[in-house]
Chains A and B, each alone.
Chain A
């Protein structure tokens, strides 16, 4: 099958349109027609279509979406829940914000279709606290959808009921982790829960629950309208479809770009984003949010933006947050910001994470304050190495991975700073 890495506008179809958020605008280009189509399909067929499309979770882990939906047991009595993870806390990530800004109805429609697929009767959009305007826009979209009969009882005469509400977080990165989010939605501390049981079996209030990222849901209407085959034709064979990339740093045009997976990194940076700001050069790049291992310019050469290609370089596509690190940024500063962040956000339940992030922040603070020893670089790597894989959630790994990459690839710069008091 011929895959295309030419640009296609799926999630950003409404870019540049006046009143793009309004229901009328959304419907003027076929909005909510996928819903009607989905209602005429058996639930199992909706799931099959999404499975076939190859859509993978856009929140960071890249788990196949249709497969996740198929895990919801249909033989357990009682309600099932559907949750949109709109917490967008991974440093560098600002793409879900763009969906709320551009076409919140795309998300709402995607959620209704997903609800029909798994038989959920209640859904929540969980948004981070600091998205003040975005929350208003999402709430307006929900209201409009109710008024138009797309939400509530007996939607469009289908006999299917689905209620959707919005919930606002309160400033805790860990609530972006899906079980932390569920704890938060239950009115508790946002502490992740041990898996299994997986949310699909026992989630919100112990009921089967599917959590997907905002961008994941927003891709669903297009897939239903155009079919899995059309979606698979975009991107690469193993990473089909388009993805929103949020790219920032000292570049001319930072922002959110919808790109077919497999798009060239250099093309994105030099053509779409207009290259670096005058006088700045690229020193490194973090390709998938703060937890993604850093890549050197050498490793970035010829890189394509898809799950497999970035993984092959030892990093990850993650949330699609690309941070261009320029020559004015010292790796000591970068490492300090990262270490402080994870230390601050660890929920403290697991010893390797609580202690490990504490150690990293502590050692890094010492280095930063010119009290470091050259052996500290090695020590940080060793601490990080012991933090992976033995914890309730992936935050511990998320802190360890960038630490190991930075201390390995830019260890000399950090040692230089320790020795001479400056890295320049």
Chain B
């Protein structure tokens, strides 16, 4: 019952805690996947294997959750995934122009760095902050009232756009 390679000791503790926190072990699948992604950036095949071999979580059940929920990355994301809301209010308040601008930057970065470009855009539904539209999330930071004029400044905080 020891797993010394796949998960860090801190993450192992977290996983163990989640597994006994709820009425059933299965309920812990979502929180466990959140914990893994928070530390590792995404959820890999080897994580699913370890969850099965070390902690007895059913592979099929874990996979099912992983593929159903959009918050989990099944592929290694770029360093700073940008979730952009393009739902009704954000759309009215200029989200499409913002997205266009971000995509322009990414194209430029890809020309220089290929797949190592720091950003990628992921479209997401309404983020529940329409009074602050348009809204985007970078890593786990929510940014409000994003415009074509301030978006560069926001992104530069994470990585150079040059």
* Number of A-B residue pairs at CB separation under 8 A: 137
How far is A97 from B128 in the complex, measured between Cα atoms in Å?
8
CB neighbours (8 Å) of A168 from chain B are: 30-31, 34
Best-surrounded residue of A122, A184, A248 (most CB of chain B within 10 A):
A248
Partner of B131 from the list A94, A185, A188, A334 (CB cut-off 8 Å) is: A94
Give the distance in Å from the alpha carbon of A205 to the alpha carbon of B22 in the complex: 11
**Closest A residue by C-beta to B23:** A205
Q: Does B125 lie at the interface of the complex (its beta carbon under 8 Å from any beta carbon of A)?
A: yes
In the bound assembly, the distance between CA atoms of A334 and B90 in angstroms comes to 11
Interface residues of B in 87-104 (CB under 8 A from A): 87-89, 91-93
Q: In the complex, what's the smallest C-beta–C-beta distance from B162 to chain A, in angstroms?
A: 29
Give 1 or 0 for each of A323-335: 1 = CB within 8 Å of chain B CB.
1011011000110
B102-125, CB < 8 A from A? 124-125
A338 cross-chain contacts in B, Cβ below 8 A: 88
**Contact A172 B68, beta carbon cutoff 8 Å:** yes
Question: Shortest beta-carbon distance, A367 to chain B, in Å?
Answer: 16
Within 8 A of B (CB), among A243-290: 246-250, 254-256, 286, 290
Among B25, B27, B92, B126, the residue within 8 A (CB) of A325 is: B92
Name the distance in Å between A398's Cβ and chain B's nearest Cβ.
13
A389 interface residue per 8 A CB criterion: no
- The CA of A290 and the CA of B65, in the complex, are separated in Å by 26
State whether the Cβ of A337 lies closer than 8 Å to any Cβ in chain B.
yes
Known: A255-B131, A323-B88. A91 touches B26 (CB 8 A): no
Chain A 299-314 interface 0/1 with B at a Cβ cutoff of 8 Å (1 = within): 0000000000000000
Q: Could you tell me how many residues of chain B have their Cβ less than 8 Å away from some Cβ of chain A?
A: 42
CB-based contact A170/B72 at 8 Å: yes
Determine the residue in chain B with the shortest Cβ distance to A134: B128
Q: Are B86 and A337 in contact (CB under 8 A)?
A: yes
Chain B, 27-57, contact with A by CB distance < 8 Å: what is the 0/1 string? 1111101100000000000000000000000
Closest-CB distance, B35 to chain A (whole angstroms):
10
CA distance A305 to B19 in the complex (A): 46
Interface size grouping (class) on chain A: 35 or more
A292–chain B nearest beta-carbon distance, Å: 11
Is B71 touching A129 in the complex (CB atoms < 8 A)?
Answer: yes
B131 touches A246 (CB 8 A): yes
**A188 close to B91 (CB less than 8 A):** no
Q: Mark A180-216, 1 if CB is under 8 A from B, else 0.
A: 0000111111100000000000000100000000000
Interface pair A130/B127, CB less than 8 Å apart: yes
Give the residues in chain A near B34, CB-CB below 8 Å: 129, 168, 170
- B residues near A169, Cβ cutoff 8 Å: 30, 69, 71
Q: Please tell me if the beta carbons of A187 and B26 are within 8 angstroms of each other in the complex.
A: yes
> Is B161 among interface residues, defined by CB-CB distance under 8 A?
no
Give a binary string over A202-245; 1 marks a CB under 8 Å from any B CB, 0 the rest: 00010000000000000000000000000000000000000000
B residues less than 8 Å from A93 (CB atoms): 126, 128, 130
Given A170-B72, A205-B24, the answer on whether A94 and B125 have CB atoms closer than 8 Å is: no
**What are the interface flags for B65-88 relative to A under an 8 Å C-beta threshold, 1 for contact and 0 otherwise?**
100111110000000000100111
B130 and A344 form a contact (CB under 8 A): no
Given contacts A130-B137, A168-B30, A338-B88, contact A254 B65 (CB under 8 A): no
Nearest-Cβ distance from residue B90 to partner chain A, whole angstroms: 9
Is A415 at the interface (CB under 8 A from chain B)? Answer: no
**Which residues of the other chain, A, contact B86 by a CB distance below 8 angstroms?**
337
Q: If the complex has contacts A186-B26, A246-B130, A255-B131, are A130 and B64 also in contact, measured as CB distance less than 8 A?
A: no
B2 at the interface (CB under 8 A from A): no
Q: CB distance B65 to A189 under 8 Å?
A: yes
> Does A177 interact with chain B (Cβ within 8 Å)?
no
B157 close to A (CB within 8 Å): no
12 additional A-B residue pairs with CB within 8 Å, beyond A92-B88, A186-B24 = A90-B126, A91-B126, A128-B128, A132-B141, A171-B70, A171-B72, A187-B30, A188-B64, A189-B68, A333-B91, A338-B88, A341-B87
Question: Could you write out 20 A-B pairs with CB less than 8 Å apart?
Answer: A90-B126, A91-B125, A122-B23, A130-B124, A131-B128, A132-B140, A167-B27, A170-B72, A171-B71, A171-B72, A172-B68, A186-B24, A187-B25, A247-B131, A248-B131, A254-B130, A321-B130, A323-B130, A329-B92, A337-B88
Residue ranges of A at the interface with B (Cβ–Cβ < 8 Å): 88-94, 96-97, 122, 128-133, 165, 167-173, 184-190, 205, 246-250, 254-256, 286, 290, 321, 323, 325-326, 328-329, 333-334, 337-338, 341, 344-345
Chain B residues engaging chain A, CB cutoff 8 angstroms? 21-31, 33-34, 61, 64-65, 68-72, 83, 86-89, 91-93, 124-131, 133, 137, 140-142
Question: Which 6 residue pairs of A and B lie closest in terms of their CB atoms, listed nearest first?
Answer: A170-B69, A171-B71, A187-B26, A171-B70, A91-B126, A248-B130
